[in-house]
Chain A
Amino acid sequence: MRDFLKKNGTRSVLATIISILVGLVAGSILILIVGLTSSEIGISGAWEGIRLIIGGTFSTGRAASGALSFGFNPQIIGNMLFRAVPLILCGLSVALAYKTGLFNIGASGQYLAGTCATLFVALSIPAGAMPQFLIWILAFLAGVLAGALWGAIPGLLKAFLNINEVLACIMTNWIAANLVTWMFDISNLKNMVEGTKTGYIYKTTYGLVNVDGAWTYQDGLGVATPKMGLNKLFPGSQANAGILIAIVIAVAVYIILTKTTFGYELKACGANRHAARYAGIRDKRSIVLSMAIAGALAGAAASLYYLSGNTELYWSVYQKLPAEGFNGIAVAMLASCNPIACIFTGLFMSAINLHGLQLANLTAYNEYITDVIIAVIVYLSAFSLLIKTWLGGRKKIAKPKPVQEKKAIPGKEVAE
């Protein structure tokens, strides 16, 4: 048992479980406090809220008697799979950067860059110009490429000018938000067909067709990610092949990081840039590539989310950055930055988000409680090393990993 506890992997998993439990308990306490102080909700309402926050995936609404009912709900589980896709990929983005000594807080901006490029390509190619799957692939690649370019900016600034990547990422986030709003504002991709919707971009299922010399959009002629039978497995849900693609990408990232020379170079550079250069690794190139790949992953997240054909973008994004990027930090931290573990933590994060929506639908509470839980989890992960050390017993003080040693001093590089 002691050997089992001593293993680094075991301790990471235990630390993750502790973080999740503390996060859920914190959320439950908040629900309880609010319930007890509010005369409308009361203790029974609070109890309903707590049950939904913990088991919302299996909620099937309310029974005729008004009590909450639980059971297998294919729609929620399917949606969970669908919404996990951007979370897993953003988590991978943050995890890969972290493994290589960089804190990618810019996943939101890269996600927006990916969104913009994907939608522009998917909606600008006329419906009959080429086979649909080709349009899909082009749009996907455009998103990945745009994310990579956007991620490369802080990478370049870090590699050549020694600018702290956290600040550069924050600035590029807001630049992306304003730029994307600008691009969509002057584009003709704004949904004009459905009169009730203002401020939205066409879904990718809309295709550009030429009717009597005028270009218009028609529903059903565009592209969408294939369902691969997942819609039969989970009827009524948004599940599609995106989740499979995300899993494949996660495995690929794992292999690159752990089994290839290239991945080793990236990690070595993160551990100690100067030592890596001494060993003959081109450190500047590694830093830029790390950020570019991280950006590509965040771009892929956006591509898969918006190419699904049933999601649409509210294009005026300049005031609020997409939450996926920040939730990606939680996914990565919870997974101890292990790419394979990101799949599971991404699914968990997606589930907890849906629990929040269930909570908002079925009770007087609102969905922001899940953001509180996620934030608590990230807060705990800031000192996960401490938790791990504590789990391993007092005798064996875990050696701080070089990567984390380096990580602890962002901002310092500016001075050097």
Chain B
Amino acid sequence: MSFLISKTLIYAIPLMIVALAGVFAERSGVINLALEGIMIFGAFVGALTINLMQKANTFNIVTIAGDMGANWGKLQLFLLLVMVITAAAGAVFSLLLAFAAINLKADQTIGGTALNMLSPALVCFFIRLIAQQSELRMFKGDAASWFMVKKTMFGFEKSQEIGFLGETFLNKVYLTTYICIILFILLSILLYKTRFGLRLRACGENPQAAASLGINVFKMRYSGVIISGALAGMGGFVYTLTTANCVANGDVAGFGFLALAVMIFGNWKPLSIAGAALLFGLFKCIAASYSTLDINGDGVALLLNLSKDPVWGKVLNPHMYRLIPYVISLLVLAFTSKKSRAPKAEGIPYDKGMR
């Protein structure tokens, strides 16, 4: 159970933070279809930064994290720095979308699609040149053992029992998980309880009215897209760090699009989005680790046995588990489309003359 929860969190966190990225862009009135592309870019920048910093031995940490001892704090600081860098990279990349959508009044769907094509192309191009192969790995170790927070770091013994909550939330977790949760809460407050958030949302509902009250719609939309890009870039890095062992290969397996579905499922509201992300995270977790998943803790991997069963195995197999999140997204879209409350002005370029 503890494994299931922590694994679900690992998949849910990037979905949640990238869905929030979508909210910031759409609430300001710009459709950010480029989330997937920005994630890919962020993942690449993160992997590259780690690779280069390890090579240059910045922070003086090239030993394997297992016997780091007092060094682990330094390691987490390093991780924090990389998160900031990937956020900055995502923000810069999203400027391309902001420029096209806000200044040039371009078709935002095509612009986003173009960025979704540009990002993997650029990333693959550079990975081939840098790594001479199709993927870029960490210079030393992989994320699962390097950046993981383990109970030994809090002074517990390896064999010591620290209870269900401790095992789930303190042992073998990533710092990124908690930073993302804190960021998610802070940014939700920013969006709903501050003057800035109110103005941003106004620009997504009725920019002409907002402008008549002296709000700079261009500036607000730029802020929305840039925050969106920063979150998506960071989300891409978190995804590749926690689920793909920090390997960048120009692909995040459709997570950006799934995040869009989560955003719509969550009706553009942070709390519902967190719930939706957990649900999708659960499915992703089952698809990824059904073979080792021990749900009730009796030492039997139920889903693995089912997939080997001659009858059930025809349906309950890894293909099915991979398929489920997308089918559910589609069904959810079908059932919630009537109640859906998208920002009214999203996707429409702001035109002063339409006031």
Measuring CB to CB, which residues of chain A are less than 8 angstroms from any residue of chain B? Answer: 30, 34, 38, 103, 105, 157, 161-163, 166-168, 170-172, 174-175, 178-179, 181-182, 185, 318-320, 326, 329-330, 333, 364-366, 368-369, 371-372, 374-376, 378-379, 381-383, 386, 404, 407-412, 414-415
Contact = CB atoms under 8 A, between A and B. Distances in A.
Contacts of A166: 33, 109
A47 B230 CA distance: 36
A414 B340 contact: yes
Query: Helix, strand, loop or mixed for chain A's interface?
Result: helix
A47 B22 CA distance: 41
A410 B111 CA distance: 13
Interface string B109-122: 11101111110111
Interface of B: 26, 31, 33, 96, 100, 104-111, 113-118, 120-122, 124-125, 128-129, 251, 253-254, 257, 260-261, 264, 317, 319-320, 322-323, 326-327, 329-330, 333-334, 337-338, 340-342, 344, 346-349
Given A319-B251, A365-B129, 18 more contacts: A38-B129, A163-B333, A168-B333, A171-B326, A175-B323, A179-B323, A181-B319, A326-B113, A326-B117, A366-B129, A382-B104, A382-B106, A382-B108, A382-B110, A408-B349, A410-B347, A412-B347, A415-B341
Contacts of B107: 382-383, 404, 407-408
Contacts of B320: 182
Which 10 pairs of residues, A with B, have the shortest CB-CB distance?
Answer: A371-B121, A375-B118, A182-B319, A379-B114, A383-B106, A375-B117, A368-B125, A378-B114, A382-B106, A382-B110
B111 A382 contact: yes
A61 to B, nearest CB: 21
* Residue of A38, A167, A168 with most chain B CB atoms under a 10 A cut-off: A167
Given A378-B114, A404-B107, A408-B107, A157 B333 contact: yes
Given A369-B125, A382-B111, A410-B347, A171 B120 contact: no
A7 B252 CA distance: 44
B106 A171 contact: no
Nearest to A172: B330
Given A178-B319, A178-B322, A163 B337 contact: yes
Contacts of B346: 409, 411-412
Contact of A374 (B121, B125, B327, B330): B121
Contacts of A364: 129
B279 to A, nearest CB: 15
Contact of B121 (A163, A178, A181, A368): A368
B348 A175 contact: no
9 contacts: A170-B257, A330-B117, A372-B121, A382-B107, A383-B107, A409-B346, A410-B109, A412-B344, A414-B264
Contact of B113 (A167, A319, A378, A407): A378
Contacts of A103: 109-110
Contacts of B100: 379, 382-383
A377 B338 CA distance: 36
A167 B121 contact: no
